[in-house]
Amino acid sequence: MKKIKLGMIGGGFGAFIGDAHRRASRICNDFKLVGGVFTSNYEKGKEFAQQEDLDLKRCYANVDDLINGELALSANERIEAVAIVTPNCLHYEFASKLLNSGFHVVCEKPMTLTVEEALNLKNMVGDKGLTFALAHTYTGYPMVRQMKELIKSGALGKIHRVDAQYYQGWVNSIINGKDSGITGVWRMDPEYAGVSSCMGDIGVHAFNLIEYTTGMEIDQVLADLSPVKDNVPLDLDGTVLVRLKNNVKGVIRSSQVAAGEENNLTIGVYGSDASLKWSQEDPNFLYMLSDSEPTKVYKPAHAYNSDFAENSHVMPSGHPEGIYEALANIYKGVAKSIRGNDVYQGEYPTVEDGVRGMKFIHSVVKSNEENNTWVDL
């Protein structure tokens, strides 16, 4: 099948996220990167394009040039979808321009800086009839998808509680090191990151996993956030109590200053009959706990899994898969959508997930500012 021509904004030299998107698009084998705007420095962008063996004519100085240059080409030649892997503050501007010009979009999270911007993008996607995917990468793991399907089947009985955490430690050395400065770290700068660092960057992933796996929306939040040090303008640590429908309650714990932690995202969903637990650092194992039976362990590439989970692994059983393959599963869903094929529910995060994420981020910040009160999403 003919590959979908992919463009990229951001993701040049040294950009981990850009590299992850390029690898994922190659793994899913449905896309071919043909051009983009890889950095704000045009000369550096051309150097990067050469490294990637791209036609320099498809390496552009800015997004407007990309749009104009690609629309000047025939429909068979031009870029069809664009991945946005820039700092948060640029997501809305670039996504808006691309959607209004007829390009499908894969966007890093959080989707925008404000709820209003998120709702505007939702309306654009609906009006244009285009595919918009948000890179909540962890929903691409086969065992997260198996977790979703097991909960949907009723295997846990009545859900009592949800518990998600996302701990990292990378900011700890920045704020407590020799210089103890935050200059140049855009995720801690409100102008680039928005109203939140910790909850906006990683807490929102825990929020998304709760809603994705349970199929239930979080209605209210009560947040206690901390910048940890006085010279830091945004939260670096926080705990959020959550209320879902049917009197289900839970907690989201998130930190960027948990010394020694790497990428410790976990989720537990506890029901009347059984519970499920999954960890991103050990992603090929899904545990089902019960009061009456030994613990069950689900793994990818086995016939006991749901069709959704089984269509989400790349390798045979016993061959570990990770973050690249998870993101590749999202790209696979995007490709199916662009081509007009049937897509599993939850095969890629949509613009609606982006709206939900922005409501979560702004609600927890509001809750914290209002002396830790309950706030409706």
Encode pLDDT of 324-357 as tens digits: 999 999 999 999 999 999 999 999 999 999 999 9
Cβ-based neighbour number of residue 95 at 10 Å: 27
What residue ranges define each of the domains in the chain, with the CATH number in brackets?
Answer: 4-138 (3.40.50.720), 140-310+350-376 (3.30.360.10)
Encode pLDDT of 143-190 as tens digits: 999 999 999 999 999 999 999 999 999 999 899 876 556 656 899 999
Does pLDDT of 1 surpass 90?
A: no
- Report pLDDT for 173: 87
| 205 vs 22: CA distance, rounded Å | 21
- Please list, in sequence order, all residues whose beta carbon lies within 8 angstroms of the beta carbon of residue 135, skipping any fewer than 6 positions away: 21, 106, 107, 108, 109, 327, 330, 349
Does pLDDT of 294 surpass 90?
A: yes
- Report pLDDT for 184: 61
- Report pLDDT for 177: 79
| 49 vs 258: CA distance, rounded Å | 37
- Report pLDDT for 99: 98
- Report pLDDT for 181: 62
Percent pLDDT > 70 in the chain is 98
Does pLDDT of 104 surpass 80?
A: yes
- Report pLDDT for 6: 98
DSSP 106-171: EEPSS--SSHHHHHHHHHHHHHHT--EEE--GGGGSHHHHHHHHHHHTTTT-SEEEEEEEEE--HH
Does pLDDT of 226 surpass 80?
A: yes
Task: Compute the Cα dihedral for 103, 104, 105, 106 and give only its sign.
Answer: negative
- Confidence tier at 29 by pLDDT (50, 70, 90): very high
Instruction: Give exposure, 232-267, as e/b (b: 16+ Cβ within 10 Å).
Output: bebbbbbbbbbbbeeebebbbbbbbbbeebeebbbb
| 131 vs 124: CA distance, rounded Å | 11
Beta bridge partners of 298: 286
Q: What's the whole-number mean pLDDT along residues 21-35?
A: 97
Does pLDDT of 72 surpass 80?
A: yes
Does pLDDT of 50 surpass 90?
A: yes
Encode pLDDT of 117-143 as tens digits: 999 999 999 999 999 999 999 999 999
Percent pLDDT > 90 in the chain is 95
Q: What's the whole-number mean pLDDT along residues 34-39?
A: 98
DSSP code for 89: G
Phi, psi angle pair for 240, to nearest 5°: -130, 120
Q: pTM of the full predicted structure? A: 0.96
Token couple for 233: 């303008």
